[in-house]
Structure 1
Amino acid sequence: MEVVQVLHMNKGEGETSYAKNSVVQKKIISVATSIIKEEVQKCLEKNYPDSMGIADLGCSSGPNSLMVISDLIDTIYATSNQKEIPLPELRVSLNDLPGNDFNNIFISLPEFYNQLKMEKNIGPEGCFISGVPGSFYGRLFPKKSLHFVHSSSSLHWLSQVPRVLYANILKPLNKGKIYISNSSPRSVLDAYLSQFKRDFSLFMKSRSEEMVVDGHMVLSFMGRLSSDPSSEESCMQWELLAQALMSMALEGLIEEEKIDSFNAPYYAPSIQEVRSVVEEEGSFTINCLEAFEIEWDGDAPSNNNFQKYTDKIGKNNFSRGLQVAKTIRAVVESMLEVHFGREIMDELFKRYAELVGDYFSRTRAKYIDLVISLTKKG
């Protein structure tokens, strides 16, 4: 599978679009907001340039795309006022794979610029926003051109499916599954970990060449607390999707061999795996590395309201299952459609919603979101 060609969030503004179904990703951004602001302030304390390079990697499209950029500009604006020095010229680069719906972002830019002008008196000549299509597993920007880098809900996507998983189509390693499962052989787990290490190390190396000394970076992506890569917290959403596909195979709606030959280009690393790659690559100092729980539908309760929350969801498991299915569909449909065909998508995600709703009736389903902030070494 050529991930660069087939991976993109669902385009447009329709019912299955990413723009309409990105509440979880918005929640993940909001969880990291305080860390992002703190790192921007630290960056400006060490480096207050006349022209500041900012990159958002894996920006996607829809209402979340300019959310982080808006927060970054707010922080830079407040810091410049506090220091009583001119606001630096802002060079903002929005990156994603070529299939991303960049037009959706560009259409919203005039309104964004108008808001900047009204609220902060920053005109287009003070903030230059551009789209940069391409994979962040490699160089994207000139050397030493970036002061702050951000990425959210993107680095759990690998550059490719581990090659060993499709090396022998006659004897699939991960039969009946589309990602790591508790029934997957050890070779599958090892292959995914090796691919993640290669990709994440290349990501770090590429950014180290593009960033200035003492530049800061904040990354958030799906991960896990457990040392076991087949734990439910990192795999269950894929396990349920595999079950939905297998139920269709049993009814002859799709070929089982199609399922055997599909593996998700995804990996949810542990905290230690992330730390190990960063330290081994050696270009960055880790400032903080934290884990947060995010409900599958983005509706994370406070501890005080947890009992009321559990009472409520007992009555709404199916509707929550539908919401999660829409969220997952908006993210993975492009890949599934290429492999299985467009005609099965509605039925597949109907079954997936039912399985997720049933899973909600048995447990509190949550993702683990890892947030890491780093500083470029001298």
Structure 2
Amino acid sequence: MNSNGLLATGEKATLLIVDDTPENLAVLGELLQPEYRVRVANSGRGALRIALSDPKPDLILLDVMMPDMDGYAVLACLRADQRTSDIPVIFVTALDTAVDEHDGLERGAVDYISKPLRPLIVLARVRTQLELKRARDWLRDQNAFLEAEVARRMAENQLVQDISIHALARLAETRDPETGNHLRRTQEYVRILAMGLRDHPGYAAFLSDRNIQLLAKSAPLHDIGKVGIPDHILLKPGKLDADEWAIMQTHAMIGREAIEHAERDAEQPVEFLALAKEIAHYHHERWDGSGYPEGLAGDAIPIPARLMALADVFDALITRRVYKAAMPPDQARAIIAAESGRHFDPNVVEAFLASFDKFLAVAERYGDDEKTLLAKRDRVEGRVRSRAGA
């Protein structure tokens, strides 16, 4: 808005004059119309209706002493309505004591002009308040733009991070022709379990909204260590012997070390990597201490790993492999229930049983396509034959 009362777009600012006396409306209107678009109301209720209509007033000059609804009541209504709360109001009144002015400003008016009116003062006060409003609006728009830009960049960074996570996880998955949509299913299983335990006294402190989000983000990296397992062991169709099994178990340590390297390379701490490291390292631990690689038991096993342990086993049970058929979900459910307190944290099992229908929905939604799995198996086996020939 320039010194002539014009908006930046070239349109005049809109003023609303409110006074129950026609003579006062005429005087102010005649004074202000050369520079501004002027609208008038002769009552408080009329002023509220106009304030909500287009064009919305940029500034309101409001008489205090009016019948039925005085200026104070009008101002209170304007401030209470989000649509009009930011319109600046100047009180124009014959109440000219210091107490009156203090009362008006305290109620939210931006300025106070006493009658009888002095044209130069009115014009100066109006211009000042319109310039201030323009500055406030500009700052608000700039802040809104900056907030939107920050949100956009954060979303972009989040997308890049998520893609990178899945790319790393897929690197491990490409080594195994049998995994299919295992990553996506276990990710959702972990999320379901976390949501089911978020109000449990023993888990609520850890399972905040933020940590649940990070858990789901971290879950696909649980088997990243399999990239370090030789093909003849990872792809063996039959049962592994003792030496092969010992090598296979090292994928937990390899995964932890790979994520630790990523943490060290990062310029600042990355929250989800700490959880991903716990999941990769400990998701084969068992509640009774018979798991690997550390033989942890009970609450010594990190919560993320306890959730992943159940999610991983359930998906393995209900998914077909070259060496076994897919198990019916109800049978897998019974096995997991029987392992409560042995393989799995009893509270996690309880959350699983309470959310079993959600697990089934995820399994159905992200089920494996048989043709895709066969094609993948052919590619992997071809790669192995090629290496063997080399």
Per the normalisation by structure 2, the TM-score is 0.30
Higher RCO (CA 8 Å, separation ≥ 6 residues): 1
Over alpha carbons, which structure has the higher Rg? 2
Indicate the structure with greater helix content: 2
